[in-house]
Structure 1
Amino acid sequence: MKKKIAIVMGGYTKESVISLKSGKEVYDNLNKEEFEPYKILILREKWVFIDETNNQEYPVNKQDFTVFVKNKVLKFDCVFNAIHGTPGEDGILQAYFHLLKIPYTGCHFHHASVTFNKKYCLSLLKKFGVNIAKSIFLNKNQFFCEKKILQKVGLPCFVKPNRSGSSLGISKVYEKKNLIFALETAFKTDDEIIIESDLKGMEVSVGVISFKNEIKVLPITEIISKNDFFDFESKYSGESQEITPARLFPKIDKRIQELSKRIYKILNLSGISRSEYIIVNGNPFFLEINTVPGLSKESIFPKQLKIAGISLSDLFKNSIYSSIGWKEN
């Protein structure tokens, strides 16, 4: 019997537009002979099943994550998580499905809550000797001294929301007079922020997956942004050049691959992930990790998969099997 798969997409942030594209890729690439995929749209104002056959919406019962359709209760065997940002990437939805005992793709809820929180993730990895930029964390309404901040991180620097994705709410500050405005911008997205020193070097993105009971590192992508940094526009509007495989010396390429696999293990991840680094004088500095990376045609991750010779269909199938815990035919 075919397994019923709920593909959750949307979310509560501006990343919802990208999530819809990712969800569509999952829907289109799932083998319909093995799975029955259902598009589930999760927004602040509604949770609904979108019926492709009649273009109607049916509300999701949040008490048990079922849908009443055509006088029948639709229950799901597994949830494929395609939501970027909250509530799909920060552990909130994962914890909800955990309570309902519904299998879901990707890492566990407690690991997602750590990886999505830059403060926790960077602090943890620093303890394991991973290179990170000089940084300061601030909570909203916390007293701070501009002079002390800039003495530590220098100029230019980056001001980022602590819990956000796709570079939303990030500013690059070149002059002291612009720091306050950057802080205010970041605090509109999150009540915790991080201020980081600017690292001069090559930016790279590395996909890591659990595939057929093995951790695999995908070909590394070099990122050349046409904008001031790799912001939302650069990521999704074609304002960047992405080169896969990255133009790296074999020794550095190997070092980054080994580091990415090590970080994946340290964070005890499962499923798919994509981490970002700046290479400074041959040394990789970790920026962040995404446990629900973009899967749209414009996204980096599917391009890395293609070069690695792994189809989206095979990866999605493997993710579902791993989550449910039953073997492939």
Structure 2
Amino acid sequence: MIKKIALITGGYSGEAVISYKSATTIEKNIDTEKWECYKIDINPKGWFYMAAEGPQVEVDKNDFSITLNGTKIKFDAVLVGLHGTPGEDGKLQGYFDCLNIPYTSCDAATSALTFNKRYTVAVASFAGMHVAKSLHLFKNIPVSPAEILNQLQLPLFVKPNNGGSSLGISKVKEAGELQQALDKAFNEDDQVLVEEFISGREFTIGVFKSKGKIIALPITEIISKNEFFDFQAKYEGASEEITPAKVDETIAEKVRSEARKAYAVFNCNGIVRMDFIYQEKDGFPYLLEINTVPGQSEASLVPQQVAAMGMSLKEFYSLLIEECF
């Protein structure tokens, strides 16, 4: 019997626009012989089933079901394609756990932890991984630029601590630029991460689990035309993305090994994308962040990596759904 899958998209943050692009790609590549897919838009106005034709149907939040033509439809699993809150920070995962509905992403605890960039690097460091030196700032506890510069060396990256899509990030080269960068980041989030710049090659890698085995996808090297891999570089073509990366196999294996280690340390599930800087002077990959609901739009990195592995997205999404059972 074909299982019913809810593909969740949308969200309550500025990343919703990317969620809808991801959902379009996923929906086009679902194996309809195996899965019956229902796209569910979760947004500030409500939760709705988005039928190809006809009116929106509201989701019953008591059991995460919909009613079509008098028939109640309950879902066998949830395919998570929702970036930002509440699909990437653990809120919906906790809800689905309460309803005993399996899903294709990390659990509530891992999602909440990795959504917080500072807590991610703290746990990674505790596990013996290399990370940049950083400070965690809170909006309600003001810290002056001078205090920051007493503890960290320029250049610095200033970024919202929660969220993704490279919104609100600045690279600070001079002390006079720091306050403006803090204001920009605090405009996106109540918590901000300030970290020392690590020079090196930027690699990003998708990792997933299938039949209990942790599998690393081919590595992508990011060569940004901007100062760093910001929103414009990520989504508007201001970067060169080389998949698979042209990199010595010994370096590639170091990155893959660290990515698989992080996947295990953080108890990840589903497809996760990790960003690293490989610092050539000491020969170590430094973990920047873990993205537990990576983009699946046509411009996104994971679909590029799946193709480089010689796998179709249809096969890939089926593996993710099968694993969540």
- TM-score calculated relative to the size of structure 1: 0.95
- Asked if 1:29 is matched to 2:34, the reply is no
Partner secondary structure for residue 182 of structure 2 = helix
Aligned to 2:11: 11
Q: Distance in 1 between matches of 2:119 and 2:136?
A: 11
Q: Provide, for residues 41-71 of structure 1, a one-character-per-residue CA deviation record: whole Å limited to 9, x for no partner.
A: 111122110111x242111112221112212
Aligned to 1:299: 300
Q: CA deviation at 1:177?
A: 2.1
Aligned to 1:146: 145
Q: Which amino acid aligns with 2:117?
A: K
Q: Distance in 2 between matches of 1:3 and 1:51?
A: 18
- Asked if 1:40 is matched to 2:45, the reply is no
Q: Provide, for residues 77-127 of structure 1, a one-character-per-residue CA deviation record: whole Å limited to 9, x for no partner.
A: 111000111111110111111111111111111111111111211111111
Q: Which amino acid aligns with 2:30?
A: L
Q: Provide, for residues 140-166 of structure 1, a one-character-per-residue CA deviation record: whole Å limited to 9, x for no partner.
A: 121323223113222221111111101
Q: CA deviation at 1:309?
A: 1.7
Q: Distance in 2 between matches of 1:133 and 1:148?
A: 18
Aligned to 2:57: 58
Kindly report which structure 2 residues correspond to 1:1-329, keeping only aligned pairs within 5 A, or say none.
Answer: 1-52=1-52, 54-281=53-280, 282-324=283-325
Partner secondary structure for residue 50 of structure 2 = strand
Q: CA deviation at 1:192?
A: 1.1
Q: CA deviation at 1:244?
A: 1.3
- TM-score calculated relative to the size of structure 2: 0.96
Q: Distance in 2 between matches of 1:145 and 1:18?
A: 34
Q: Which amino acid aligns with 1:146?
A: P
Q: Contact between 1:10 and 1:41, CA under 8 Å: does it hold in 2?
A: yes
Deviates more, 1:126-135 or 1:142-151: 142-151
Q: Contact between 1:134 and 1:152, CA under 8 Å: does it hold in 2?
A: no
Q: Distance in 2 between matches of 1:160 and 1:296?
A: 23
Q: Which amino acid aligns with 1:289?
A: I
Q: Which amino acid aligns with 1:308?
A: M
Deviates more, 1:145-154 or 1:314-323: 145-154
Partner secondary structure for residue 269 of structure 2 = coil
Q: Which amino acid aligns with 1:6?
A: A
Q: Distance in 2 between matches of 1:33 and 1:203?
A: 39
Aligned to 1:327: none
Q: Which runs of 5+ in 2 are unaligned?
A: none
Supply the RMSD in Å over aligned alpha carbons: 1.3
State the percentage of identical aligned residues.
Answer: 44
Aligned positions, number: 323
Partner secondary structure for residue 215 of structure 2 = strand
Q: Which amino acid aligns with 1:316?
A: Y
Q: Which amino acid aligns with 1:268?
A: N
Q: Contact between 1:95 and 1:109, CA under 8 Å: does it hold in 2?
A: yes
Q: Distance in 1 between matches of 2:67 and 2:158?
A: 45
Q: Which amino acid aligns with 1:15?
A: E
Q: Distance in 1 between matches of 2:211 and 2:308?
A: 18
Q: Distance in 1 between matches of 2:324 and 2:216?
A: 20
Q: Which runs of 5+ in 1 are unaligned?
A: 325-329
Q: Provide, for residues 23-44 of structure 1, a one-character-per-residue CA deviation record: whole Å limited to 9, x for no partner.
A: 1222111111221101111111
Q: Which amino acid aligns with 1:284?
A: P
